[in-house]
Amino acid sequence: MILEFERPIKELEERISGLHRLAGGSEGLQAEISRLEDALDAAKRRVYSNLSPYQRVQVARHPDRPNFRAYRDALTEDFYELSGDRLHGDDAAVRGGFARLKPELGGHPVVLVGHDKGADVKARVAGNFGMAHPEGYRKVGRFYELAVRFGLPIVLLVDTPGAFAGRQAEERGQAWAISADLMALSRAPVPVVSFVIGEGGSGGALAMCLADYVGMLENSYLSVIAPESCASIIFRDPGRAAEAAEALKLTARDLKEHGIVDEVLPEPLGGAHNEPEDAIDTVGGALGRVVSGLSEADPEALVAARHDRYRRIGERAMQDGTG
Amino acid sequence: MDAVFTKCERCGQPIYEKDLGARFNVCPHCEFHYPLSAPARIRLLLDRGSFEERDVGLLAGDPLGFEGYEERLAKARRRTGLDDAVVSGVGSLGGRRVALAVMDFRFIGGSMGSVVGEKVARTVEHAYAEELPLVIVSASGGARMFEGVYSLMQLAKTSVALSRYVEGSWPYVSVLTDPTFGGVTASFATAADVVIAEPGARIGFAGARVIEQTTRERLPEGFQTAEFQRDHGMVDRIVHRLALRGDIERLLGFVA
């Protein structure tokens, strides 16, 4: 898939590869090729250093963006997957289990949980495009309990448009399931480390990022509502999604500035979908560093600090006239 | 409106407004529960003259500089006489002191922004510090979009506050009224020891219209009503508004 604003880049890339084919060993075309390569580099820089918030949302949703499975395979070894909520079923929109970080990342055993958007059409449909049902959030709640029971850090990878909005999700208590996860993370006496690797859609994302550390990839987003829905509700026009995305301050950089997240993780030029390994390495570096840093922390102190962090969040969003 | 009587939107019968007020906005003919303001709800629940309001004067800023928010806030404050969509404090219910927070749907649809989250969290903390039962009455359309991610973070703020409270042995009673949706249901409103709902109240995560638009599914009659939620195991009891005070009093008799 080629995003609209990526078109000039893709056109240059096609011309370059066309010339490569023509050129063979001919030196005459080399000058032209290197001129185009410079232009390509400049175009990438121009486009990607000036992405609007809504363009970033589109990058965050890109189907080729590295997903849960890619991170799991690259950053951990011996992923021991667990399934089911013990009440209703197994929701493929979220996955998790025990995992060991790669030796170069510290080798810590952790409980790894993430939204799974799937890498191909079949997996995407099976995982409901990363939109979990209540059984998914209850499965996640089980993983939180296991982590606490065995004193393992919880590592979360967030990538969801939101918790699923549907009849069955309501019948099985979507709100109740999310609320229970928030309560569980609020008091889990183990390190909780979360990365927003793509979409961070509202409550369905927060159920997996109430954490001691939240890192966001540069082109990921975290928002209380999808920009399209916000535009239809506030501006009564879904076509004004770009404006809504702007107004919601949902980009990684905005959220860092507002003190909501800890770190913006730079993506390779052209976005994570162009150089997946680079993006995964960046997340891996932060993951290893943060888990190692928190692994010796006193469990009670962790809970207290997490409490204070969220208790104080958004103090500046109010005028406190209570004295 | 200066008419002394109005027509019930549900059953069509004429109602004297005085009667409706005396019955806390419950239709005397069909028992339909109309929305109730926070001040009236407090009169309904607490012993006369016992309410001490707390945390007055917290005002929403406009953290994102969101177009139109200041105007919406000013209008809501003028229309309701409230600072924001929640009124909170301590008082006695059947002679027993409780911490109480009541949401008011008239204030920007009871949406949860930083002030709602903060006042709910502080009410929880008063209850914790003073060893009181906690009662929260919700009425909310969901997130306050004008505050963006700050609105989302109120789910976290209220959850961390509650997570301390529930370590103690004082009860938390949540009352869901029409309508209660979104971030409020996905956080403190459902994390209670006992969840009570008013008859016919619409309660859920996503609104029915959103679900119909996204899934093109026809939703069954009575979808997301209090009764639907009780039948699906999500709500403990459906309690008529005029019986609510007595019902909570009975409950606290067991657990407080």
pLDDT in tens, chain A (323 residues): 888 899 989 999 999 988 888 877 677 788 888 899 999 989 888 888 889 999 999 999 999 999 999 999 999 999 999 999 999 999 999 999 999 999 999 999 999 999 999 989 999 999 999 999 999 999 999 999 999 999 999 999 999 999 999 999 999 999 999 999 999 999 999 999 999 999 999 999 999 999 999 999 999 999 999 999 999 988 889 899 999 999 999 999 999 999 999 999 999 988 999 999 999 999 999 999 999 999 999 999 999 999 999 999 878 788 888 76
Distance between CA atoms of residues B233 and B214, nearest Å: 25
In terms of domains, do B11 and B48 share one?
no
In terms of domains, do B8 and B105 share one?
no
Quote the CATH superfamily of domain A56-313: 2-enoyl-CoA Hydratase; Chain A, domain 1 (3.90.226.10)
Confirm or reject contact between B157 and chain A (CB < 8 A).
yes
pLDDT at residue A19 in the model: 87
In terms of domains, do B144 and B242 share one?
yes
> What is the enclosing helix (H) or strand (E) of A290?
helix A276-294
Mutation target to probe the B interface, by most B beta carbons within 10 A, among A57, A170, A236 is A170
Distance between CA atoms of residues B132 and B159, nearest Å: 18
The first and second tokens of residue A223, run together, are: 């928002």
Instruction: Report which residue type is found at A297.
Output: A
Say if CB A52 and CB A250 are below 8 A apart: no
* CA atoms B155, A203, B216, A62: torsion sign: positive
Taking contacts as CB-CB distances below 8 angstroms, the residues of chain B near A176 are: 185, 190, 234
Taking contacts as CB-CB distances below 8 angstroms, the residues of chain A near B191 are: 179-180, 182-183
Split at pLDDT 50, 70, 90, the class of B10 is: very high
Split at pLDDT 50, 70, 90, the class of B116 is: very high
Q: CB-based burial of residue A52 (10 Å sphere; 0-12 exposed, 13-18 middle, 19+ buried)?
A: middle
Confirm or reject contact between B74 and chain A (CB < 8 A).
no
Q: How many domains does chain B have?
A: 2
In which domain, by residue range, is B27 found? Answer: 1-32
In terms of domains, do B13 and B134 share one?
no
Distance between CA atoms of residues B240 and B243, nearest Å: 5
pLDDT tens column, B63-113: 999 999 999 999 999 999 999 999 999 999 999 999 999 999 999 999 999
In terms of domains, do B174 and B76 share one?
yes
| ipTM entry | 0.97
In terms of domains, do B178 and B144 share one?
yes
Residue B65's contacts (CB-CB under 8 Å, 6 or more residues apart) are none
Q: What percent of chain B has pLDDT over 70?
A: 99
pLDDT at residue A147 in the model: 98
Distance between CA atoms of residues A202 and A171, nearest Å: 20
pTM of the entire predicted model: 0.96
In terms of domains, do B46 and B124 share one?
yes
In terms of domains, do B107 and B23 share one?
no
For chain A, the structural domain boundaries read 4-50, 56-313
Extract long-range pairs of A99-102: CB within 8 Å, 24+ residues apart: A99/A72, A99/A155, A100/A76, A101/A75, A101/A76, A101/A287, A101/A288, A101/A291, A102/A74, A102/A75, A102/A76, A102/A77, A102/A284
Q: Nearest-CA distance from B218 to chain A in Å?
A: 9
Distance between CA atoms of residues A296 and B149, nearest Å: 31
pLDDT at residue B13 in the model: 95
Contact A310 B160 (CB under 8 A): yes
Give the CATH number of the domain where residue B166 resides.
Answer: 3.90.226.10
pLDDT at residue A187 in the model: 97
B51 has a pLDDT exceeding 90: yes
Confirm or reject contact between B161 and chain A (CB < 8 A).
yes
Residue B179: cis peptide before it, omega within 30 degrees of 0? yes
Mutation target to probe the B interface, by most B beta carbons within 10 A, among A87, A144, A168, A176 is A176
pLDDT at residue A25 in the model: 65
Contact B185 A179 (CB under 8 A): yes
Residue A220: CA count within 13 A, CB half-sphere: 33
Could you give the angle at which helices A227-234 and A53-60 cross, rounded to 10 degrees? 130
Say if CB B52 and CB B69 are below 8 A apart: no
- Chain A CA closest to residue B190: A176
In terms of domains, do B10 and B121 share one?
no
Say if CB B92 and CB B129 are below 8 A apart: no
Distance between CA atoms of residues B9 and B28, nearest Å: 12
Split at pLDDT 50, 70, 90, the class of B1 is: very low
Confirm or reject contact between B32 and chain A (CB < 8 A).
no
In terms of domains, do B4 and B90 share one?
no
Say if CB B108 and CB B80 are below 8 A apart: no
Q: Nearest-CA distance from B175 to chain A in Å?
A: 14
The first and second tokens of residue A167, run together, are: 């009849």
Option in B68, B205, B233 nearest A175 (CB):
B205
Say if CB B100 and CB B92 are below 8 A apart: no
Neighbouring C-beta atoms of residue A228, cutoff 10 Å? 17
Residue A135's contacts (CB-CB under 8 Å, 6 or more residues apart) are A84, A85, A87, A88, A89, A90, A91, A172, A177
pLDDT at residue A116 in the model: 97
In terms of domains, do B18 and B143 share one?
no
Q: CB-based burial of residue A1 (10 Å sphere; 0-12 exposed, 13-18 middle, 19+ buried)?
A: exposed
Distance between CA atoms of residues B146 and B143, nearest Å: 9
In terms of domains, do B172 and B203 share one?
yes
- Look at residues A240, A156, A241 and name the one whose alpha carbon lies nearest to residue A198: A156
Mean pLDDT rounded to a whole number for chain B:
96
